[in-house]
Amino acid sequence: MSRIFVGMSGGVDSTMAASILKGQGHEVVGLTLKMWDDASRCCNYDDIMDAKNAAHKLGIRHYVINMKKEFKKKVVDYFIADFLNGKTPNPCVICNAELKFRVLLQKMKELNFDYVATGHYARIVKKNGGYCLKEAADPLKSQEYFLSRLKPDELQKILFPLGNLTKQKIVAMAKAGGIYVEKPESQEACFMRKNETPYEFIKRSSDISGSGKGAFYTSSGEKISDIKDSAYFNFTVGQRRGLGLSAGKPVYVVKIDAENKRVIVGEKKEAFTESFFISGINMFVENKKAVFSALVKIRYRQKKSPAKVTVIGDRALIKFKEPQFAVTPGQLAVIYKAGIVVGSGFIESAKNS
């Protein structure tokens, strides 16, 4: 029997993770992180109470840890800074690696527990003597993309009880056990209000008076118009709708020039990129060669695409076999081989060659 901390959000996935582990005879204790007073999901008051109620039904202890100060510094401030710098951040990726699992693992060590677990859909496998992330059995729910910033040595102390199960099976098990709570799955960052845009959040959460609104330009440097109702950091590469432009033809955001507060737009073909750099690479599987072939995903819902990866220190050059649409600075590129995460890094810039 092991002693396991389970990160609980009040939803069916984390509740079932705790239930499965308890059913296996382990000593299970639930932990919920309080991270934002105005959260739309994951860590607001209702979710914390749902987690407490779920723990009560399961007959396990449950504790809440206040992480609001750390969450603002590591996640919210990063989110705002990336947008102001012309990037499109991925706060869930940062939150998982820099906050949620960091805290769970720290408490595990402090209190002499054996493992931490969450309700994420992913698997951990051993390869070449180390630990790697692998896609979950349910391809529609697999969340290894969001977990790819975890460190290989951390994986040996992490459990994902749902990795071999489908969401449909988990819901059926929860209903049969009388612990199912139906909750909507929001697509927004948890600290943003429902239907709030990043621009609206940044405007109410920080002093951007000196940021300026900016203007739309063509890739050839011709000014189209000033940005009227928002600012340059309200847009992301690949965006077509909501630009407020009358160009006479469909145009897409192809680049954000934060230094000059310019949103560069053009035809769809201009938003395709063949090569780009990633930085801060986190490798799970060491490759003997500095250049190797793999599959790369540049956003969570995108299909993996064949590419050549050239590792250069803590950076890498990714060159796709076929140009990909909307390679977006600030987002995460995840490298795969046979369903296993080889590594990941943040998209830095397009090379366009």
> Once rounded to an integer, what is the mean pLDDT over residues 247-259?
90
Structure tokens at 230: 């928002």
Structure tokens at 306: 């064949």
Residue 15, phi then psi, degrees to nearest 5: -65, -45
Over residues 272-317, the pLDDT tens digits come to 999 999 999 999 988 778 899 999 999 998 999 999 999 999 999 9
Over residues 102-119, the pLDDT tens digits come to 999 999 999 999 999 999
Over residues 132-154, the pLDDT tens digits come to 999 999 999 999 999 999 999 99
Q: Which of 43, 92, 132, 190 is catalytic?
A: 190
> Once rounded to an integer, what is the mean pLDDT over residues 30-54?
83
Domain limits, the chain:
3-176, 213-266, 272-350
Residue 259: band (very low, low, confident or very high) from pLDDT cuts 50, 70, 90: very high
Q: Quote the pLDDT of residue 208.
A: 76
Please, are residues 318 and 305 in contact by the beta-carbon 8 Å criterion?
A: no
272-350, which class in CATH?
A: mainly beta
d(CA 67, CA 219): 43
- 3-class secondary structure, 92: helix
Q: Which of 42, 92, 95, 132 is catalytic?
A: 95
d(CA 3, CA 26): 6
Q: In residues, how long is the chain?
A: 353
Q: Identify the architecture of domain 213-266 in CATH.
A: Roll (2.30)
CA 47, distance to chain mean position in Å, is: 20
- Whether the predicted pLDDT of 188 surpasses 70: no
**Beta-bridge mates of residue 61:** 29
272-350 and 3-176 share a CATH fold: no
Nearest CA among 148, 145, 188 for reference residue 300: 145
> Once rounded to an integer, what is the mean pLDDT over residues 35-54?
80
Q: Quote the pLDDT of residue 152.
A: 93
Does domain 3-176 correspond to CATH entry 3.30.590.10? no
- Whether the predicted pLDDT of 226 surpasses 50: yes
d(CA 156, CA 116): 10
Active site residue 95: yes
- Whether the predicted pLDDT of 353 surpasses 50: no
